[in-house]
Structure 1
Amino acid sequence: MSVLVTGVGLIAPNGTGPQPYWTATLEGRSGIGVLSRFDVSRYPVRLAGEIRDFDAAAHLPGRLLPQTDVSTRYALVAADRALADAAIEPGAYADYDMGVVTGNGQGGFEFTHREFHKLWSRGPEKVSVYESFAWFYAVNTGQISIRNQLRGPSSALVTEQAGGLDAIGHARRTVRRGTPMVVTGGVDSAFDPWGWVSQISGGRLTTSDDPARAYLPFGSDASGHVPGEGGAILILEDAATAAERGAPHVYGEIAGYASTFDPAPGTGRPPGLRRAAELALDDAGLTPADIDVVFADAAGTPDLDRTEAEAISALFGPHGIPVTAPKALTGRLCSGGGPLDVVTALLAVREGVIPPTYGTDGVPEEYGIDLVRGAPRETPVRAALVLARGRWGFNSAVVVRGAGGGRDD
């Protein structure tokens, strides 16, 4: 059964909506700058991929604003746009034929920080009753479901940076089990002081103050990543029912998915990223020769970049396939990063263009990868492999291809 992407809604630091984001990505317009939500001048990390000029009140009813964290507001708006893009209106499907599966890795940090400050300074009676769920990892799934009356099978995945791909994979499985339409993807944000310190404590953020040279995936001068916020929401539909209802357009197919977990340190066994990629290819019924580009996880630290490069070169051969990391322009979006890469990959398939990895100007030869740098590379793209890794050993891979290339099994 082919599972198609029929709608997309995205909110990223360098563009809102597929076309503005795609144009910015090809032109190298970055969304990375000094974080403006609060004064970061005394912090060791100051740069972020921040979404600016977003007015939630212009997009959402006032009753939702007091009960939602900024990340949930992004998710609700992205879901609204994805459903509109797919032309799914009330009555298009029965309520129980529509589900929601999202990934989330950070929860409602900003909301919780504000309410805990009230608790400590003003007492428990001043804490919002919405704190009981606004912080929770499943809140985006819940709020999207309630707002759009989607009562079908729903869930939330919490695997950090891999979570968005895991959500898409689970949504695909849900469609193949009989739910005609599922809203899926991932959105994250943690740019309040509490969330900021939490991310810094992870030890993987760059301390560079130069937005153009801070996040250098696979670069010789890589020093860590820049954190970002936002993500993407996709509409997945069974191909037959999408055709029956007259879906206005199809971005492509979620052709394969797999996830693995790294072995415990000290066992001597290899990391699980390559195995995840192999399983996803097998799930799609494809071989490495059928893939035209890899959208890398691109951790931005030498050790993790080297590990990913080894997995890619082992699977495709040294310099055997173009590799790219457009997230150099947005930062790493936690669970939102994978879905944004999936959308980018689908656009690359549609347009026949591989977006480059801006900023990185030198790749260690021992990495053995063909990193697309400097300018977009025009080439036919039939299928793409998207990789993501979460902290503590999560690995996920998704294969996308153009519509019409699916199997009927």
Structure 2
Amino acid sequence: MKTDAFGACSVNVYSGQAGNVSVSATVVNSPTTTQSIVITFSQAGTPQLSKIYILNSMDESPANGVDENTAEISTRTQEGIAVPNVDLTATVSNEASFITGDNRIEFITDANGNATLPFTNIHSGEVVMKVWQTINPVIYAEESFSFAEGNSNLMPVLELSIISNNATANNSATNLIKAVVTNVDTGLPLANAPISFSIGNSSSDATIIGASSFKTNNAGEAYVSIIDAVAEDVIITATLSDSSQSESVVITFTKTESSALKITGAFNVNKDMAIGMPTTAWQGAQFGLYVTGGSGSYTWKIDSPSLGALTQSQSNQGFTLFNFSNPQYGSYSITVTDNETGEQDTYGFVINAIFEGYQGKDTLFSLWVFNKGDGLASPQQLTELYNEWGGWALIMVGSITIMSIGVMILGFL
């Protein structure tokens, strides 16, 4: 080109890509006379989404959980220009599901503004698909599809197996069950098959952790975990949603590992008592037995010379208290039983002196050895009473207050 009368000329530069472009000008008759400048082209504006289209490209597939209906999704401007890379959300009705196993999915259209969504169902009938822009739900589209009655050759087969068993019955350790649903004809897994689990024996203390009804994963599998607080056998049943099939297995929970059940000794409010004590008593005297091990859930049984001679008054963690309601001479046997394991231990003693007040006297030396014929207690008998029940200045023997020199005690709780 040539310069004009003012020695100037101009040129228009176009580019299909954003970025910097170097433009050089050279005088034809003087190649060394040249100059360059850099110009910039900016990115063209992104097309604005106006419409979403759903094309029904595959319909009326059998409702067998395998065959798919297919939707072609496209995102366009008002003029029909493709809008790429749009974040969309889609749902399907009537328990249909996408390849993720859910009835809802989030996805992005490709560089041409297109996406393909396959989905399945095990229920025949209409399925409505809705697709909307994730950040702007007012731009959406809906389309109806249909699933035909499932092919009998594609009906599901349910199998149930035990993955882990013999968990400890501590209401924490789990047994794990797996259900697998497959195609009866091909043996291939059926994803998204609704299945529910239940405990077959109604008297069981077992519990299913979390949900008991859900859909199989892409491998046609569903898992459930069970806990129990009691050692027992438990029946677990899996059932397909249409109740066409159910399978059951028996799992086992074992007893809690614990130390042996044992009565370790006796005590009163003042002191621990030697094994085989008490040997002395009075109406209202109270003592306790220490117990360790086992499950912590116990039942106590008293064998005494007469009914009501000794009664259980209070049970606590680690010990139980007993009261001489109507003490009698003779042998006593106290047995503790673990309610969960059946384990037992027994503590025995013999009462050979029963004390009571005599003729309203209020001194230690008026203690009467009840029903013995010896009258007032001997020093040896008083020593035995002291050695078993501890030092005292105040102790209740029936309704009589006995006073003595010694260390004050406050009686029995």
TM-score range, shorter chain: under 0.3
Which one has a larger percent helix, Structure 1 or Structure 2?
1
Which one has a larger percent strand, Structure 1 or Structure 2?
2
- For the pair shown, the structure with the greater C-alpha radius of gyration is 2
TM-score (norm 1): 0.16
